[in-house]
Structure 1
Amino acid sequence: MAKPPTIYFILLLAASCFFSVEAISNVTRRRKSFYIKGIAYQPQGTQILGTVTDTSSDNPFLEPDTFTDPLADGAGCTRDLPFLQELTVNTVRVYSVNASLDHDSCMSTFSSAGIYAIIDLALPLNGSIDTSSPSWGTNILDQYLETIHVFSKYDNVLAFNVGNEVILTGQTAVAAYIKAAARDIKAYLNSIGSSALVGYASIDGDSTFRDPVANYLSCDPSNTNSGSTSIDLYGLNNYEWCGASSFEASYAGVEADFAGYNVAAYFSEFGCITSPPRLWTEVAALFSSQMSDVWSGGVAFSYFPATSSQGQFGMVNISSDGTTVTTSADFTRLQAQYNVTSPPTTPSKGSSSPTYPSCPGQNSSFAASSSLPPTPNLAACQCLESTFGCHFNPPISNYSGLIGPLINTACGGSCNDIGGNGTTGVYGRLSGCDPTIQLSFTMNEYYELNGMNPESCSFGGNGTVNPLGASGTAAAMAAETSCVSSPSATFVPTLPSTFATASSGSGSSSSGSTSAKNGAAPLIARDHLLDY
C-alpha cells in the first residue's frame, strides 16, 4: 500500500514543538511540524430522553435537541483560554455552531494563542445527514455552506467535518451520502480558495466495519486517482485505551490496520472513562514514534461536562454565572501528560502526494455504492416547486414533525422520485430537494391522480391549491423534465444568494471587523507539498 501523505501548512507563530506524521496535513511552526494536540470544546445540549443515535457501547450519548455555540461566547473563550493553554492544546473541536452569530472574538482569541478549530458542520435533529433515512439535499448543503461562509475569513480553521458517527454497523449505505457531501464541500472550498480540510469523524468498531468505511471515504469511484470525492482528514473516535493499558493491548491493531491509509488520520475523540480514574497514559503512545507514521495526534474528550450512560467525560465545571472555571483531577492528569509529551519533530518519511485507490466492494459488513447522490440543485428544485398545482402550506411554523407522515400519506406505495438508495446507487430526480419541496411534489402527484379535486390537496389543512401550477399530468411531467434536466449532475455548489445578501453587512460577513490575523497564519492549499 502507498505510504500516507505529508501535507504541510505554513504558520508564522512560534509555539510549543508539535510533531509531524505522514498521515496528517502537517502544519509547520518554524520548521517544527504540527501535530493535533486537541480537546473537544462543546457544552452539552439538552437531550431527547430515550433517543440514541446508536445503541452500541461505542456511542453512549443521547441525541441532543439543542446546542450552545461556544465560539459565539467571546467572554467564555477568554475565560477558558488560560486553561486551554495550561493543557498546551493547539486545536479545539467544536461540534455545533450557529452561522447567524458573531464568532470574531473567540476565533481571534484562539488564533492569537495559536489554537486551531475543527468545526463540525452538522446541527442536532434536522441539520445533519440522517443515518436511518439519509439524504443529501439543498437544506443540508445550504446550511453547511452558510457555516463555511461565516468561518472562511478566519485563519485558524483547520477542518470542516461533514459528519460525526453517521455511518454505523449495519447502516453503511449512508456512507454514499457522506461521500457526496465531502465531494460538494470540497469543491466549494476549492472554489473560494480555502485551504481548510474536509473531514469526517467515525465511530469505532470491528475492523470489518471500520476499515472499509475509512477506505471508502478516501477512495476514487472514477478509478482515475482523483481526490475530488475523498475526505482530506479522517477522524476515529477511539476509546480503546482504558486505565493503565498499553500500546500493544489497545493501539497496535488500529495502528496496523491504517498503516497504508492514504489521507490524514487522527483520533477525533479519545479518553475512556469505563476504568476510572482516567490516567491519560494513552497520550504518550499516541504522540510517540510507534504511531507517528499513521496517526496525527488526537482530541481529548471533553473540556466541558459531558454526561453519558457510561458516566461523566467533562474535565471542568463552569460556575452558574459563567465566570469561573473549576478543573477536575481528569484535567490535571491530562495536563501532566500533554505537557511532558516530546514527540519527534521531523517526519520519518519523505513527503508524497496522496493516491486515491478504487473503492472497496460491497459485502456483508459494508454496503455503500460507488455511485453517489448528485449535487443538490436549489434552482432546479425551486423551478419545479413553482409548477406544482398543490403546495405544502402548513398553518404552523414548527412543521418538521408533519413532513414524514404526510409524505407517507401522499406517496402511497412509491416515493422513488424523492428517495434514494445508497446501496444500489439509484437516486430519484428530486432526492436532492428540500423535504418541504419533496412533500409538495408528492402532494401534487396525489392531487393530479385525484383529478385535481381541491379536497385532495387539503391533507388536513396543510396543503393549498396553486392556481398558477401546471395543469394536468402531461404538463406536470413536462415541467419536471424542463426544471430537472440533469438529475444526476455534479457541479460546484454556490452560496445561496439570500444568505450572501443577508450577511454582507453583518458582523459575520467576510468584511467583518476583527478577522483573526495574529497567531495562526493562513493555511496553504491542501494538495500543496512544502518541504523545508
Structure 2
Amino acid sequence: MLKTIRAFVIISAVATFLVGNVRAIPKVSRVGRYLYNADGSRFYIKGIAYQEQGTVVASADNPFGEPSSFIDPLAQGDACARDIPFLAALGVNSIRVYSVNSSLNHDACMNAFSRAGIYAIIDLALPLNGSIDRVSPSWSTNLLNQYIATIDAFSKYDNVLAYNVGNEVVLQDGTGIAPFVKAAARDIRAYLLAKGSHALVGYAAINGAANWRDALANYLSCDPSSSNSGATAIDLYGLNDYEWCGDSTFQASYAGTTGDYAGYNVAAYFSEFGCITSPPRLWTESGAIFSSDMAPVWSGGIAFSYFPATSAQGQFGMVTISADGKTVTTSDDYDRLKSQYGLASPPNSPSQASVTAAAYPTCPTANSTFLASTVLPPTPNQAACGCLENALSCQFTPSTSNYSAIAGTLLDTGCDLLEQAGGSCLDIGGNGTTGIYGRVSDCDPAVKLSYVMSQYYEANKRNAQACSFAGNGTVNPHASSSVSAIAVASSCISNPGATFAPTAAATTGAHTSTSSSVKGSNANSAVGNPRAVGGLVAMTFVGLASVVLMLA
C-alpha cells in the first residue's frame, strides 16, 4: 500500500515537470558503431520493455511461448499517462515495444513519451502471421506493406529511435532464414531514406553459440557487393542476453560475449536483459553494461519487463496493474532496477569527432554452422503481384474473412495436387541457403495460392470444378482462356530479382493484407525441394483433397 501512495506523489511531481517542458526531444544519430546525441555526447539506451503480454497458447508448435494476440501499448493514452511517472522514476530514456497497430492513434502516448525524454524502439512484426516465418520464410508484399504502414503511422513523431525488422527470427538450426531478414533491412532502410527519416534499422537476436551467433551479427551488417555499402546493413544490432544471473561479475558473464563483438562495425546493445533463474533479480549487470568495460562495444540495454510477462522460466514483470487499470503497484524488482539505473554513469567517449564512418565488410562465407546465402530475396513488388493476381485464371476467393487460417493448408494441398498433375510450386518458393527465389516468391500468400490454383485448374483443362477448392476459388471471367498462369507470371514479373526503394501500398486494388507467410505452409521452402510443400497437409483437408482429385 505504501508503494501505491508514493506512486501518486510521483505522478503529481512528474506531471508538473511534463507540462512545463515541451521542447523537442534531441535527435540521436549513429556514427560508426556508436550512438550520439545532437550535442555530440554519447547516447546509451537505458531502457525497459514496455508491452503487456498477449494471449499465449501453449503447444508443441509454440516452443517460445509467443503470444497469438497483442495489446498496442502506444495506443492507450490513459495507460501511458499512468505509467510515464514510473518510467521516469526508473530513469529510463527508451522503451522497446514489440507490436503496434498502425490503424490506431498513437498521438497521446508518443507525444507524452517525447516530452518525458523517452525514445521508442518499435518492432515492425506482429504475432502469428505478421512476421517472417521461421518454418516457411518469405519476404513478401504483405509483410512489406505492414512494415511500411507502421513506419508511416509513426513517422510524425520525433522520438522513434529505431525500427526492428525482426526479433529472434534466426535460430541455430535455421540460419538460412537470415537472407530474408537482411532483405527486410535493405528495403526498410531504403524506404526510411526516401522519407527523410533518421530512425535506425535494427534487429534483435537470440543469444546462442558464438559460431553462428557472431556470423549472423556480421552478416546483418555486411555488404554482399563488397563495395563498402551500407545499403543492406542494419544500424542497430540487439542481443537478447540473459547470461548474467544473480550477483555475477563482468568477467563471469559478459567478458566473453563483449570480446566476441569487439570489432563489430555498427551500434550494438542488449535488446533484452534480466535473468530470473537466480532470484531475486539484483540488476547489478546494469553496472557492467554502462561501465568502461562494455561501453567501447555496447550502447546500453533494455531491461525485461515493465509489465508482467510469464514464461516457462517464471515471471519477468516489475509492476502490477489494478483491475480497473488505474493504479500501478511496484515490486522490489522495480526498486532494485531503479537503484541500479540511478548509479549508471557511462563514459562519454569516444568523442563523436574522433569516430570514423562505419565500414561494411564483405559478408562471411557460408559454412556448416551458418548457411545464409549472400544473394538476397528481391524487393516485394506490389504492382507486379497485383498484375499477376488480376490476370490469373483461377482466383482465391475464401469463404471466410480470416483467410490466413486456411491459406496455408490450401497451399500445401494445392501444391501436392499440382505436383501429382505434373506441375510444380517452385515459382512461389524461396531458399535462403541456395539464394534461389521463385518468380512469385515475393507476392502475398493469397496471390501465391491463386497462382497454384490457376495452374491446377489449367492442368485439368480449365474445368470450373477444379478451381473450386471446396468453395475457396473462383474462375476469373476476365482472364484469357489461352494464356497460362506461368506465362502471366513471366509477363507481370519480368524482372523477378529486382531491388528498388519501395513505396507505400495503394489502399485499393490487389491484396494488401498484413498477414505474413501463412502458418502451416511449407511452400516457401519449395525451391530446391519440391516435395517440401506437401509435408503439412492437415487432416482436416483430406476431404478437400479427395474432392479435387475426383474432378481431375
Change (3 A) 1:13 1:345: farther
Which residue of the partner structure matches residue 466 of structure 2? 456
Q: CA RMSD in A?
A: 2.0
Contact 1:20 1:344 (C-alpha < 8 Å) held by counterparts: no
* 1:346 Cα deviation from its structure 2 partner: 3.1
Which residue of the partner structure matches residue 56 of structure 2? 47
Instruction: Read off the aligned partner of 1:165 and give its amino acid letter.
Output: E
Instruction: Read off the aligned partner of 1:384 and give its amino acid letter.
Output: L
Mapping 1:294-333, distance limit 5 Å? 294-333=297-336
* 1:464 Cα deviation from its structure 2 partner: 0.8
Contact 1:283 1:341 (C-alpha < 8 Å) held by counterparts: yes
Q: The residue matched to 1:498 in structure 2 has which SS?
A: coil
Which residue of the partner structure matches residue 487 of structure 1? 496
* 1:343 Cα deviation from its structure 2 partner: 1.6
Which of residues 377, 380, 383 is equivalent to 2:381? 377
Which of residues 64, 89, 109 is equivalent to 1:86? 89
1:352 aligns with 2:362: no
Which residue of the partner structure matches residue 404 of structure 2? 400
Distance 2:164 2:465 in 1: 45
Mapping 1:19-418, distance limit 5 Å? 23-28=33-38, 30-51=39-60, 53=62, 55=63, 61-347=64-350, 350-412=354-416, 413=419, 414-418=424-428
Change (3 A) 1:242 1:386: same
Question: Which string of whole-angstrom CA distances, capped at 9 and with x for unpartnered residues, describes residues 100-129 of structure 1?
Answer: 100000011010011000000000000000
Distance 1:343 1:20 in 2: 17
* 1:291 Cα deviation from its structure 2 partner: 0.6
1:432 aligns with 2:436: no
Which structure carries more relative contact order (alpha carbon 8 Å, separation 6+)?
Answer: 1
Instruction: Read off the aligned partner of 2:472 and give its amino acid letter.
Output: N
- More strand as a share of residues: 1
Q: The residue matched to 2:183 in structure 1 has which SS?
A: helix
Instruction: Read off the aligned partner of 1:492 and give its amino acid letter.
Output: A
Distance 2:497 2:432 in 1: 14
* 1:233 Cα deviation from its structure 2 partner: 0.4
* 1:270 Cα deviation from its structure 2 partner: 0.2
Contact 1:316 1:325 (C-alpha < 8 Å) held by counterparts: yes
Change (3 A) 1:121 1:223: same
Contact 1:20 1:35 (C-alpha < 8 Å) held by counterparts: no
Distance 1:373 1:313 in 2: 37
| Unmatched segments (≥5 aa) in structure 1 | 1-10, 56-60, 501-532
Instruction: Read off the aligned partner of 1:372 and give its amino acid letter.
Output: L
- More helix as a share of residues: 2
Change (3 A) 1:364 1:19: same
Moved more, 457-466 or 294-303: 457-466
Distance 1:308 1:476 in 2: 47
Q: The residue matched to 1:391 in structure 2 has which SS?
A: strand
Question: Which string of whole-angstrom CA distances, capped at 9 and with x for unpartnered residues, describes residues 186-210 of structure 1?
Answer: 0000000000000000000010121
Q: The residue matched to 2:247 in structure 1 has which SS?
A: coil
Q: The residue matched to 2:181 in structure 1 has which SS?
A: helix
| Unmatched segments (≥5 aa) in structure 2 | 1-21, 510-552
Distance 2:489 2:31 in 1: 51
* 1:478 Cα deviation from its structure 2 partner: 3.4
* 1:470 Cα deviation from its structure 2 partner: 2.4
Which residue of the partner structure matches residue 525 of structure 1? none
* 1:19 Cα deviation from its structure 2 partner: 13
Distance 2:40 2:177 in 1: 41
Instruction: Read off the aligned partner of 1:23 and give its amino acid letter.
Output: R
Q: TM-score, normalised by structure 1?
A: 0.87
* 1:32 Cα deviation from its structure 2 partner: 3.6
Change (3 A) 1:245 1:485: same
Change (3 A) 1:477 1:136: same
Percent identity, aligned pairs only, is 62
Change (3 A) 1:401 1:42: same
Distance 1:355 1:342 in 2: 29
Change (3 A) 1:269 1:311: same
* 1:401 Cα deviation from its structure 2 partner: 2.3
Q: The residue matched to 1:306 in structure 2 has which SS?
A: coil
Q: The residue matched to 2:428 in structure 1 has which SS?
A: coil
Q: The residue matched to 1:185 in structure 2 has which SS?
A: helix
Which residue of the partner structure matches residue 516 of structure 1? none
* 1:477 Cα deviation from its structure 2 partner: 3.7
Which residue of the partner structure matches residue 422 of structure 1? 432
Q: After the TM superposition, which segments of 4 or more aligned residues of structure 1 sit over 6 Å from their partners? A: 11-15, 18-22
Contact 2:40 2:351 (C-alpha < 8 Å) held by counterparts: no
Contact 1:19 1:343 (C-alpha < 8 Å) held by counterparts: no
Q: The residue matched to 1:386 in structure 2 has which SS?
A: helix
Instruction: Read off the aligned partner of 1:445 and give its amino acid letter.
Output: Q
Contact 2:25 2:115 (C-alpha < 8 Å) held by counterparts: no
Which of residues 480, 500, 524 is equivalent to 1:470? 480
Change (3 A) 1:26 1:435: same
Q: TM-score, normalised by structure 2?
A: 0.84
Distance 1:264 1:494 in 2: 27
Q: The residue matched to 1:81 in structure 2 has which SS?
A: helix
* 1:344 Cα deviation from its structure 2 partner: 1.3
Which residue of the partner structure matches residue 504 of structure 1? none
Distance 1:170 1:19 in 2: 34
Which residue of the partner structure matches residue 521 of structure 1? none
Change (3 A) 1:118 1:141: same
Question: Which string of whole-angstrom CA distances, capped at 9 and with x for unpartnered residues, describes residues 444-471 of structure 1?
Answer: 0000001001111111111111121121
